[in-house]
A and B are shown apart, each in its own frame.
Chain A
Amino acid sequence: MSLALEKATEAQAKKIISINLVVGELSGVVGDCVQFYFDAISRGTIADGAKLCFETKPTQIRCRKCQSVFTPADHEWSCPQCHETSVEIVTGRECYMESIEVE
């Protein structure tokens, strides 16, 4: 919230309407919980009543051998193309504020 307030104040906004957040599946962020606490701590600030909009990024992994990118299955993380087991996480860890809407 401090980041949103800082940006809104810089822009001389009167009110924050919404906050757009990008969170990966692996980030551990639960949108409803965050909104619940946000509502409590934003009371009396220009962010009071702002809606948090979460864009969830799915987990995707890349094969270190053939570079193909795929969505892992529950218990099968080897590359569907070349069956290599050496892989790296490319998306799913995101946790950032993309933008805010103010007036």
Chain B
Amino acid sequence: MAVKVITVGEKILGTNDAKAEENKKLLVRHGILTVNIMSSPGAGKTSLILSTIKRLSKKARIAVIEGDVASSVDADKVNALGIPVVQINTAGGCHLDAFMVEKGLHNLPLEKVDLLFIENVGNLICPNNYKLGEDIRLMIASMPEGDDKPYKYPAMFADTEVVVLNKTDLQPYIDFDEKAFRKVVIGLNPDVIIFPVSCKTGEGMPAWFDWLEAALKNKKNK
């Protein structure tokens, strides 16, 4: 039989993008501000979430979707603060996708949530390609990872709205060049907002809290 070529020209992740749009509509309907938090393992995603919960939980109703390859260690920490949390174990998968998040959303009391954090799986490559339905894409870079990371993972840095530069308390002990880091990140992404912080000491955190509170108010007024 003759071989025939069929032109397709469609995105491989088109079905994920469509599901992400559905998630977004659901979240918008409930007036929820959603933040997708991405970083390499150990950069401080859970620490940032826990610090933010402690600071803002009286002002906003917060919920969390935790994505991990395995275990519920992070979800247990959030749960201990009395915050609704859903753990998604990807069983080896290196990122969350919109279908997993949809399941998570169905297990949360959305009518009682103002702010949703989605903690992605620790990885700087794949999570960037999967939209989840979020309003804000936030990535955490931590100083010990080195100032050269934007060169290695440019797409991640180019597509994010917020970069939290964590572990500034370690600056005296390492050769992290913040000026060089900022230059390349802003070069790739002129609209990015960078918050240098230490989740451990609290340094720089007020600026992040204020920004997030303003984003929440903005969302409510829409």
A100's partner among B1, B5, B186, B187 (CB-CB below 8 A) is B5
Among the listed A11, A85, A96, A102, which residue makes an inter-chain contact with B187, where contact means beta carbons less than 8 Å apart?
A: A85
Report the bound CA distance from A17 to B6 in whole Å: 11
A11–B8 touching, CB < 8 Å = no
Q: Is B105 at the interface (CB under 8 A from chain A)?
A: no
**Per-position contact with B for A1-22: 1 when CB-CB < 8 Å, else 0?**
0111001100101100100010
Partner of B1, one of A14, A74, A99: A14
When the two chains form their complex, are residues B184 and A77 in contact, meaning their CB atoms are under 8 A apart? yes
Q: Is A49 an interface residue (CB 8 A)?
A: no
Query: Among B2, B129, B155, B188, which residue has its beta carbon within 8 angstroms of that of A92?
Result: B155
Structural contact, B187 and A97, CB atoms closer than 8 A? no
Instruction: Count residues of A near B (Cβ-Cβ below 8 Å).
Output: 36
Q: Is B136 an interface residue (CB 8 A)?
A: no
Q: Contact string, B185-202, partner A, CB cutoff 8 A, digits 1/0?
A: 011101000000000000
B15 close to A (CB within 8 Å): yes
- B48-78: which residues lie under 8 A (CB-CB) from chain A? none
> Quick check: A101 and B5 within 8 Å, CB to CB?
yes
Contacts of B188 in A (CB 8 A): 77, 87-89
Whether, in the assembled complex, A27 has its beta carbon less than 8 Å from a beta carbon of chain B, the answer is: yes
In chain B, positions 122-141 with a C-beta closer than 8 Å to chain A are 125-126, 128-129
In chain B, what residue has the closest Cβ to A85?
B187
Given contacts A97-B10, A103-B2, 8 further A-B contacts (CB under 8 A): A11-B6, A64-B190, A74-B151, A86-B187, A87-B188, A88-B158, A95-B11, A95-B12
Closest 10 CB pairs of A and B: A85-B187, A28-B125, A103-B1, A97-B8, A26-B155, A96-B11, A99-B7, A95-B12, A86-B187, A103-B3
What residues of chain A have their CB less than 8 Å away from a CB belonging to chain B? 2-4, 7-8, 11, 13-14, 17, 21, 26-28, 59, 64, 72, 74-75, 77-78, 85-89, 92-93, 95-103
18 of the cross-chain contacts (CB-CB < 8 Å) are A3-B12, A3-B14, A7-B8, A11-B4, A28-B125, A72-B151, A75-B151, A93-B155, A95-B12, A95-B129, A97-B10, A97-B12, A99-B5, A99-B6, A99-B7, A100-B6, A102-B3, A103-B1
